[in-house]
Structure 1
């Protein structure tokens, strides 16, 4: 882990072709990024994408975990089925959703037209106003099982005696969730939020395979911006500096998590 991190930080201080030109430029690459509107836009898009995916994963994953924790019939079967999206490779997930979003023969347009919701096919991945949301939905389908499993594990550690005490105090379902369940799984939720944010903030595969960062840069997340700088424009120093910025952002989020968790434990 140490070598590529140190190498990447060092590379961000040079203007190089990785072969025979190593011109030390110090922090010039970072200064150029700070003035690059395209890079700044990609950071904003990445925050929006990560927020939508993390929020969606929390809602869907936590909701399903609460249902599975109730001990209903066929719980084991549904656990196995609901975790399947996480087991699929990201390339497979992207291709499945790209087929479903297809404006000509896609499943979504067919069903929505059959129900009378839309009158004509929608180009989900070609509309700058819809593309980011469409990509986020695919990412949520891929990512919710991890949240579900972690939250379900957290739910099973909450003492049943607390629910019994809440029942004696005549607390309803919402009251039990607010005063017993939520405090009991708060450390798990905080950990999930930070891990999910770090994962989806630097995500590349699903976004690249669905839209290549388009249309018109609407889904140009920072990982795609780094890829294009490095492997299309051969701006290795700028790409490394961009990656270091992403590392700093993820470390900052981790520090916030540590502070919040420490305060919660105290």
Structure 2
């Protein structure tokens, strides 16, 4: 059987010509391969550093694995039952909630206030904006040591200032009391986070319609009315993102708390990150540390889900 081939009359070059659709398809395939090639190092790092240790900890959460049990022994939900009956661990959840609420609220309020100030036209505004980022640029452990020196009971700047003003008669050991230690770690985290939050709010303020504000002022609106009726509604999407990011960051915060108080005094600042560290590296109870860490991740997931949902919706 013979097949007839219709000659287009354009010669051999017509047979070699590739359609535009095929060219675009081949280009997209090459772009995908190049994209996966660039993505491969990040995926490998994610699997090796995050996914594999998390899956390992997930399995160890259901085992007894400590100094007396060098080989993991499956105990089911035993670790989680121990958590529910442990006042110390349950207290860590309460301490974490207090810390997250105070640190997030303080960072958002001060970040918004500072952004409103830096959004006003005045001489030296650009330099002040740049200087405002210094706390965020500094390493967190350096920040913790600076504030540790400020709250120091013998050589601290805070005691020297309050004594000179006559507020206190004798130096106070701020980090040796429960309230003082919690206040110290909250202030340190707020000071560390305000520049980042200020940047978010300042970016949102740049897109605010200035003519709308001027028209409201002409109609007799005062500053509080402008803030309530115009500025805050405009910043609502930014506010949601900033609050969620603040909650996620404060739930997993560790370094400045550990460097400043170590979780003390008497577990007053022992948040979940400190609790996991102590269980794993002080008591060598890897099974219990994995179980606490699993519940710790569970507290972060709702905020992370909300943030990703908001991010993908706006994409």
Aligned length: 263
1:83-162 matches, within 5 Å, as 83-162=133-212
Deviation at 1:160?
2.4
Deviation at 1:126?
0.7
C-alpha distance in 2 between matches for 1:2 and 1:100? 39
SS in 2 for 1:142: helix
SS in 2 for 1:15: strand
Equivalent residue, structure 2, for 1:200: 250
Deviation at 1:198?
1.1
TM-score for the superposition, normalised by structure 2: 0.78
Larger mean Cα displacement after TM superposition, 161-170 or 27-36: 161-170
C-alpha distance in 2 between matches for 1:148 and 1:212? 29
Equivalent residue, structure 2, for 1:49: 99
Q: Is the 8 A contact 2:149 2:156 kept in 1?
A: yes
SS in 1 for 2:162: helix
Deviation at 1:100?
1.1
| 1:44–1:110 CA distance, 2 compared to 1 (3 A) | same
Residue 14 (structure 2) pairs with residue 14 (structure 1): no
Q: Is the 8 A contact 2:63 2:73 kept in 1?
A: yes
Deviation at 1:258?
7.1
| 1:4–1:162 CA distance, 2 compared to 1 (3 A) | farther
Equivalent residue, structure 2, for 1:231: 281
Deviation at 1:255?
4.4
Deviation at 1:149?
0.7
Greater radius of gyration (CA): 2
C-alpha distance in 1 between matches for 2:237 and 2:216? 21
Structure 1: gaps (5+ residues)? none
Deviation at 1:256?
5.5
String of CA shifts for 1:65-109, please: whole Å, max 9, x gaps.
Answer: 001111221111101111100111111111111111111111110
Q: Which structure has the higher relative contact order (CA within 8 Å, separation 6+)?
A: 1
RMSD between aligned residues = 2.2
Structure 2: gaps (5+ residues)? 1-49
Q: Is the 8 A contact 2:245 2:307 kept in 1?
A: no
Q: Identify which of 203, 213, 232 aligns with 1:182.
A: 232
Deviation at 1:38?
0.4
SS in 2 for 1:78: helix
1:41-80 matches, within 5 Å, as 41-80=91-130
